[in-house]
Structure 1
Amino acid sequence: MQRNPYRHHRQHWKLFLFLFAALIAAASLLYTNYLTKSLSKSERTKAEVWAMSTRSIVSMPDVNDEFISFIYAVRDSLSLPAIITDEEGEIIFWRDLDSTRTNIASDPADTLAQSLIYDPGYFASELAYMRRRHDPIVIELETGQRWLVYYKDSSALRQLRIFPYIQLSLIAIFIVIAYTVFNSIKRSEENLVWVGMAKEAAHQLGTPISSLMGWLELARATYESEDTMLFDEMERDVYRLEVVADRFSKIGSDPHLSNHNIYDVIKDYVDYFRVRTSGRISFELEGDQHVEAMLNVQLFDWIIENLLKNAVNAIESEGKVHIHLFENIAKEEIFIDLSDTGRGIPRSNWETIFLPGFTTRKRGWGLGLSLTKRMVRLHRGQIFVKESEVGKGTTIRIILKSNLQYEPTQIG
């Protein structure tokens, strides 16, 4: 059964952020919609008052000057772009339109004399826009004529309509930044914890490894035998423990890369690993034996070790692990294909297997392939599932650059 607690917690945080953003967006849209409707009603009322005041001025020419002044004051206080037409669509009055388009000088050189000739194209476009936006306000005159009042939203209302989209964009940017910062802080804290644990593990292993080496030399001297294979293999295991401790001690520091023959490095580890694995699993290494690249041998051994262990775990009874090494000279790339005849990986998990915490076993932390991918990147390389079929096996490909100098990068 596949499990990944890291991914599970990360999905919870993603869901929380998404729901929080959705709540803010919904509240913002609802409140802005309420404000927009209220302001729209207010502007409709303002347009109606302006229409009524205009009708009063036209229909009651004989009233006293004070009342006319009051009507003018009321009309002029209502600032709203509007146009009045007759029933045939001819423009009679307008207000608060672009003054540079409503009055055009008959003589451009005469700045004092301004004619009342207006720009027909501008008025036609404004009137068409107003007709699309709102139903007209009808004014019934005493003469039996009908005027139609068209208006458009004020600048404040138009800005209020687009404000939610600007606000939502800013919220989205904030959420993305917050998520990125949170992930970065969390990853940094996790890295510090892992680095501290790794260095402490290396420190704790140092003393018993030194003791084992001393006891091994004593055993060699005490139990002399012509067959030294047992002592040789024990010595190789102790050396391997020393290598593992050294790996952990280097986490968080700058790895040193130097030029090595890749075939020889892989062969050395495969030979070590073969005798410590079931005889029902065979190992085969083939390819170019003269390919060289910039490697940190201890870290590269770790890469091969993790891949071989995963391959062996995927083979349930007996099978084969095949490693093919070849170089693309034109691209200066080295390809390492590690294939097994194990269970295979579903296509949906080809990317997931390299995430921290992913594992198909009941035991284990699911960090092996995640660390492997990180160490491959330290070699400025790539690692991915080249092909896999459930029940038939998997091929993992590593791509490295050949004969290139790298700047050091921290492990962890």
Structure 2
Amino acid sequence: MNQDKLYQHNNKQRWKFFLFLFAALIAAASLLYTNYLVKSLSKSERTKAEVWAMSTRSIMTMPDLDDQFISYVYAVRDSLSIPAIITDSKGNIIFWRDLDPTKTNIKDQIDSANNSLEYDPVYFEKQLAKMKRNHAPIALPLDTGETWSVYYLDSLALRQLRVFPYLQLSLITIFLIIAYTVFNSIKKSEQNLVWVGMAKEAAHQLGTPISSLMGWLELVRSKFNAEDDSSLNEMERDVKRLEAVADRFSKIGSIPSLTNHVVYRVIYDYVQYFKVRTSEKITFEITGDKTVEAKINIPLFDWIIENLLKNAVNAIESEGKITINIIDNIAKEEIFIDISDTGKGIPKSNFDAIFQPGFTTRKRGWGLGLSLTKRMVDYHQGQILVRESELGKGTTFRIILKSNLRYEPTQV
């Protein structure tokens, strides 16, 4: 990649990292502050629970208190607004507050005669177990030597405060994801318009000189009586190749027509054309399943193979081998097309970036080849990825297509 493009790409990645870090810091600060508030309120509620427990003890153990003082103690006791339960030293429930009234069928919570209470035992067992999980009990020693235990739950406000920052951050995250998706969709739509406009204009500009070249070839053949001249035949193949390229560009922006083709045969035909235009020091091998079919648009699929083979040739630089392996993944009804080279390899940090427009490792590259390749694979409702790569040893790209009907093997 040239230095300007490398700087632009790295700068973009740095900005993404800093924005993500900034968002993470805001989220962490929000959670820390909320946690601080929760701890402060939790301490305050425990103090209130202790005061309530002591006032309740006073009412239950000191019946001869002054009426005015009793009224004050009742007011203190009734000021507590959190669910709580008091148990004696044997674990029996002797008092409670702010629990479900439909589960507390009370004749008289404090029966001075037999100190008996009536309530739904299953409900109270669950509430008591929940309280024990939430907070350590408050010990309430009595003059008789017995110790009561006070259990309580956090107030509704405190419970909501615990959940609020996570709910808030979740809603903000959902909003940001939706906003990013919408703006990204708009950006891609604008990019698509540019792609389509440039592609169709390129196809239009190529049309006239290609037609002229075909005419000149026919004129040369007839003038020099060279109908079977091998050089002119190769020139004609190249001109037809230009026609195919123009046809590819004209198809960008429209829904391609996909028809059933044997994958091996399509790849074989293109490799036969490509390898005679490549150094003899680079060898080609096609292996794997020769029968599996997929829905393919041949001009666009050839474009995919062409770009990957050109990248492989550029990576090899001098002498090496390119292998194309076709794998029929019957279990998932998919076809894997692995294109491997013995070139210089790709760093793992670039595995995703290489499919972005403008990313290239060549000094004079535009960085559009693999981006276009991904686009063509998308047209075929498939996927493309870097399966593996090791610096100095080579790279394997994998194309994944949906398999179609299977036929008997044919000679290729």
The TM-score normalised by the length of structure 1 is 0.71
Residues in 2 aligned to 1:131 and 1:323: alpha-carbon distance in whole angstroms: 62
- Identify the residue that residue 162 of structure 2 maps to in structure 1: 161
**Amino acid in structure 1 at the alignment position of 2:270:** Y
Match in the other structure for 1:110: none
Alpha carbons of 1:360 and 1:130: their partners in 2 closer, same or farther (altered >3 Å)?
A: same
| In structure 2, distance between residues paired with 1:84 and 1:319 | 83
CA change 1:54–1:197 in 2 (3 A) is: same
Task: Tell me the residue number matched to 1:81.
Answer: 83
Confirm or deny: 8 A CA contact 1:104 1:117 kept in the other structure.
yes
Counterpart in 2 of 1:309? 310
Query: Distance in 1 between the 2:204 and 2:290 partners?
Result: 37
Matches within 5 A, 1:188-203: 188-203=189-204
Q: Under a length normalisation based on structure 2, what TM-score does the superposition of the two structures give?
A: 0.71
Mapped pair 1:255 → 2:256: yes
Deviation, structure 1 residue 194: 1.7
1:136 aligns with 2:138: yes
Q: Structure 1 residues 334 and 33 mapped into 2: Cα distance closer, same or farther (>3 Å)?
A: closer
Matched residue SS, 2:150 = strand
CA contact (8 A) 2:138 2:150 kept: yes
- 1:295 Cα deviation after fit: 2.9
Percent of aligned pairs with the same amino acid: 70
Paired residue for 2:35, among 33, 36, 39?
Answer: 33
1:181-203, CA deviations, whole angstroms, 9 ceiling, x for partnerless residues? 44444333333322222222222
Q: Deviations over 1:203-232 (max 9, x none)?
A: 233344344445555555666668844444
| Distance 1:367-1:96 versus aligned 2 partners, 3 A rule | same
**Mapped partners of 2:93, 2:189: distance in 1:** 69
Instruction: Using the TM superposition, give the Cα deviation of residue 255 of structure 1 relative to its aligned residue in structure 2, in angstroms.
Output: 1.1
Matches of 1:229 and 1:366, distance apart in 2: 35
Letter in structure 1 aligned against 2:319 = E
In the other structure, the counterpart of 1:109 is none
What amino acid sits opposite 2:81 in the alignment?
S
SS of residue in 2 equivalent to 1:116 = coil
Q: How many residue pairs end up in the alignment?
A: 393
Amino acid at match of 1:202: A
Q: What letter matches 2:17 in structure 1?
A: L
Query: What are the Cα deviations for residues 35-70 of structure 1, in whole angstroms up to 9, with x where unaligned?
Result: 32343344345345545655665658464x566545
The residue aligned with 2:150 is 150
- Residue 237 of structure 2 is matched in structure 1 by 236
CA distance in 1, matches of 2:397, 2:107: 79
- State the partner residue of 1:410: none
Match of 2:360 in 1: 359
What's the secondary structure of 2:364's corresponding residue? Answer: coil
Paired residue type of 2:150? Y
Pair 145,200 (structure 1): closer, same or farther in 2 beyond 3 Å: same
Residue equivalent to 2:298 = 297
Residue 112 of structure 1 is matched in structure 2 by none
Q: Is the 8 A contact 1:130 1:150 kept in 2?
A: no
Find the partner of 2:17 among 15, 23, 40: 15
Query: What is the CA–CA distance in structure 2 between the aligned matches of 1:139 and 1:320, rounded to whole Å?
Result: 86
The alpha carbon displacement at 1:253 in A equals 0.4
Match runs of 1:203-222 below 5 Å: 203-216=204-217
Query: Which residue of structure 2 lines up, in the alignment, with residue 111 of structure 1?
Result: none
Distance apart, 1:248 and its partner CA = 0.9
> 1:367 deviation in Å?
3.1
Asked if the contact 1:294–1:403 (Cα under 8 Å) also holds between the matched residues in 2, the reply is no
User: Aligned letter for 2:318?
Assistant: S
The alpha-carbon deviation at position 304 of structure 1 amounts to 2.5
More off after superposition, 374-383 vs 243-252: 374-383
Q: How does 1:86-125 map to 2 (within 5 A)?
A: 93-103=95-105, 116-118=117-119
SS at match of 2:255: coil
C-alpha separation in 2, matches of 1:93 and 1:332 = 67
Structure 2: gaps of 5 or more residues: 109-115, 407-412
Aligned to 1:375: 376
Could you say if the C-alpha distance between residues 83 and 203 of structure 1 is closer, same or farther in structure 2, counting changes exceeding 3 Å? same
Q: What is the root-mean-square deviation in Å for CA atoms of aligned residues?
A: 4.7
Letter in 1 for 2:205: Q
Check whether the contact 1:353–1:369 (CA below 8 A) recurs between aligned residues.
yes
Distance 1:300 1:20, change over 3 A: same
Inter-CA distance 363–73: structure 2 relative to 1 (3 Å threshold): same
Q: What is the deviation of 1:251? A: 0.4
Is contact 1:6–1:356 with CA below 8 Å preserved after alignment?
Answer: no
Native 8 Å contact 2:257 2:297 kept in 1: yes
- Counterpart of 2:410? none
SS at match of 1:317: coil
Corresponding residue of 1:43: 45
1:108-147 deviations in Å (ceiling 9; x for gaps): xxxxxxx73456776677667369725637588xx78787
The residue identity in structure 2 corresponding to 1:249 is S
Give the Cα–Cα distance (whole angstroms) in 2 for the partners of residues 329 and 147 of structure 1: 72
